[in-house]
Amino acid sequence: MDYTGIIIPFVGGLGMFIYGMQIMAQGLENAAGNKMKSLLEVLTKNKFFGVLLGAFITAVIQSSSATTVMVVGFVNAGIMNLTQAMGVIMGANIGTTVTGWLVSSVEWAKMLSPANLAPIAIIIGVVIMLTGKRRSTKDISSIIVGFGILFVGISTMSGAVSPLKESEAFCNIFVTLGKNPFLGILAGTIVTAVIQSSSASVGILQSLAAAGLVPMSAAVYIIMGQNIGTCVTAMLSSVGAKRNAKTAALMHLLFNVIGTVIFSIVAIIFFTVMNPALGENLITQTEISTVHTIFNIGTTVLLFPVSNWIITLAKKLGRVEECTQEDDVVLLDDRMLQTPGIALQSTVTEIVRMGNIVAETLKESKEVLFTKSEETIKSIKEKESVVDKLSAGITDYAIKITALQVSEKEHQDVAHLLQVVSDMERICDYCENISEYAEAMRDKKLEFSEIATEEIKQMMDVCVESYLYAKEAFFEKNSEKAVKVIEKETLADDLEVRLRNKHIKRLANNQCNAETGIFYLDTLVSMERISDHARNIAEEIMNPEN
């Protein structure tokens, strides 16, 4: 038998299958990007929503391994706890069954056979790709072309292994795997670990089944092993991560191992005692999809009620306790870059956290000039240092997003976010300046007059309100609040001019101390600049196309 003529087309077909899957997944991800962003917010609700989210994301990106790697990134960044991660991991196992059903559709929908559909899908996709100008149109073309290439790949693999039906030795391998559950599970684990994709591994099994090579019992054990093998990618990804992230990867492994043990016992009893003849029957592609789906959904249903025990066991094995994050730690992880839509939403979430710290700093700045509290001065400086670190980390991460295959709109979104980060960081700088004025006045034993105090408080109220409206406008994408920012900033400009002129008159009439007057004017300038940056943030909301 010419094994070279079998291996080369099979490997080529596998390459087309994986490439088609990636192209289709990229198109789906771009098309579903906004939904994935909004669904990320659901993570804070409960574990059940996490299961739905994990299933959806995995169905879109066509890889439970990639989803779990992303989960490891979320946990490592501190924006997802282990309970939320458990839900997404369970859902990922369900979502990964989608590819198998696409492949098996050639059996239960004859019109979708690769010979008929793949060439048509590819040519239609290419025509749309060449003629379409909108990004959404090109995403659709990627989905169609990827779908076609995927089917060509599975057809090529099936055709390549078809001669192996005549090889008694090869067929005996699968008979052995069916009779020995451990070997069957081990084979599925090794193949999936090597190619790092359970979807592709199931596709290989389906191509062998299409050639009439795989008994039912062997397929069942191999499928269970594939679910263990898919954990390897996440385990490798967790190397070098925090212990919490390693625990998330360990949870994935435990979940799949426990599910495999349970269903292996059921399968062994069924195939050896209840119906041995069924285990010897050749399995079809559709039956593989059915077994794969039943196994993953069944495991989730069985283990969902005791998932907290799995989390506890993973913590003990990983020797970890969940802990709080330091404020200056940037809660973003490169693993999330595998899904740009979610990476972008995570960046927004981090900017929200940074914006809240700026708001706290600004509120402290309202009082520090009058209390001159050492504790408040120190707090403002510490918060300013935290904001500097967050600003640098968020900026670096946002730049990484622009290097990915993202839409033009997402590029614009990143540009807007970078501007907002810059404005927030500058506002915090001015807060630090005000704390330094307070410190200097305390050291020199200077005090504002009653009139000056009232005027500065008036200016501060307007400027602080301006930022708070800007923060809310950004968080809520609220244009009405953005308009209020413009109104407040205009009022701050007028107030700064009026108060400056009044103060200069007081200085000319020797009604106040000249040195104190310098701090008064510097404070006015700092507050007016704060309102300017608040306006910049508001304009990013009001003019997103710029």
Tell me, what amino acid is at 32? A
Is residue 513 classed exposed, middle or buried when 0-12, 13-18 and 19+ CB atoms within 10 A define those classes? middle
Backbone φ/ψ region at 320: left (φ over 0), alpha (ψ -120 to 50), beta: beta
Mean pLDDT of the 146-157 span: 77
What is the distance between the alpha carbons of residues 422 and 268, in angstroms, rounded to a whole number? 62
pLDDT confidence of residue 467: 93
pLDDT confidence of residue 101: 79
Mean pLDDT of the 272-289 span: 85
Share of the chain above pLDDT 90, in %: 23
What is the distance between the alpha carbons of residues 225 and 61, in angstroms, rounded to a whole number? 22
What is the distance between the alpha carbons of residues 467 and 435, in angstroms, rounded to a whole number? 18
Q: Using alpha carbons, select from 390, 389, 357, 363 the residue that is nearest to residue 376.
A: 363
Please give the structure tokens belonging to residue 316.
């003990």
Mean pLDDT of the 294-301 span: 90
CATH number of 339-542: 1.20.58.220
What is the distance between the alpha carbons of residues 20 and 157, in angstroms, rounded to a whole number? 14
pLDDT confidence of residue 388: 93
pLDDT confidence of residue 317: 82
**Confidence check: pLDDT of 544 > 60:** no
- Which of 26-35, 145-154, 357-366 is the least confident region? 26-35
Q: What is the 3-state secondary structure (H, E, C) of 255-319?
A: HHHHHHHHHHHHHHHHHHHHCHHHHHCECCHHHHHHHHHHHHHHHHHHHHHHHHHHHHHHHHHHC
Encode pLDDT of 455-513 as tens digits: 999 999 999 999 999 999 988 888 888 899 999 999 999 999 999 888 888 877 777 77
Quickly state the pLDDT bin for 39 (edges 50, 70, 90).
low
Higher-scoring residue by pLDDT: 284, 421? 421
Tell me, what amino acid is at 462? V
* Integer CA distances (angstroms), 138 to 23, 129, 134, 164, 370, in order: 11, 5, 7, 40, 60
**Which range scores top for mean pLDDT: 43-57, 104-118, 121-135?**
121-135
Instruction: Yes or no: say if 408 and 487 are a contact pair by the CB < 8 Å rule.
Output: no
Encode pLDDT of 175-230 as tens digits: 677 678 888 888 888 888 877 677 777 878 888 887 778 888 888 998 888 888 88
Name the DSSP class of 110. Answer: G
In the block, tokens 């003990």 appear at 316
**Confidence check: pLDDT of 114 > 70:** no
* Integer CA distances (angstroms), 91 to 222, 251, 298, 407, in order: 21, 13, 12, 27
Q: List Cβ neighbours of 132 (8 Å cut-off, separation of 6 or more).
A: 138, 140, 141
Report the chain's mean pLDDT, rounded to a whole number. 81
Q: List Cβ neighbours of 13 (8 Å cut-off, separation of 6 or more).
A: 152, 153, 154, 155, 156, 157, 158, 159, 160, 207
Q: How many CB atoms lie within 10 A of CB 515?
A: 12
Quickly state the pLDDT bin for 406 (edges 50, 70, 90).
confident
Quickly state the pLDDT bin for 327 (edges 50, 70, 90).
low
What is the distance between the alpha carbons of residues 226 and 478, in angstroms, rounded to a whole number? 47
What is the distance between the alpha carbons of residues 47 and 382, in angstroms, rounded to a whole number? 36
pTM: 0.69
- Residues composing the chain: 546
Mean pLDDT of the 269-294 span: 86
Instruction: Yes or no: say if 65 and 27 are a contact pair by the CB < 8 Å rule.
Output: no
Which residue ranges does the chain devote to CATH 1.20.58.220? Answer: 339-542
- Which of 233-247, 263-277, 349-363, 454-468 is the least confident region? 233-247
pLDDT confidence of residue 535: 93
- Which of 149-163, 275-289, 438-452 is the least confident region? 149-163
What is the distance between the alpha carbons of residues 241 and 234, in angstroms, rounded to a whole number? 11
pLDDT confidence of residue 422: 94
**Confidence check: pLDDT of 34 > 60:** no
What is the distance between the alpha carbons of residues 282 and 280, in angstroms, rounded to a whole number? 6
Quickly state the pLDDT bin for 42 (edges 50, 70, 90).
low
In a 3-state reduction of DSSP, which class is residue 333?
coil
**Confidence check: pLDDT of 403 > 50:** yes
**Confidence check: pLDDT of 33 > 70:** no
**Confidence check: pLDDT of 320 > 80:** no
**Confidence check: pLDDT of 423 > 90:** yes
Higher-scoring residue by pLDDT: 374, 541? 374
Encode pLDDT of 54-101 as tens digits: 888 777 766 677 777 777 777 776 667 788 888 888 888 888 888 777
What is the distance between the alpha carbons of residues 368 and 456, in angstroms, rounded to a whole number? 12
What is the distance between the alpha carbons of residues 330 and 333, in angstroms, rounded to a whole number? 8
pLDDT confidence of residue 44: 47
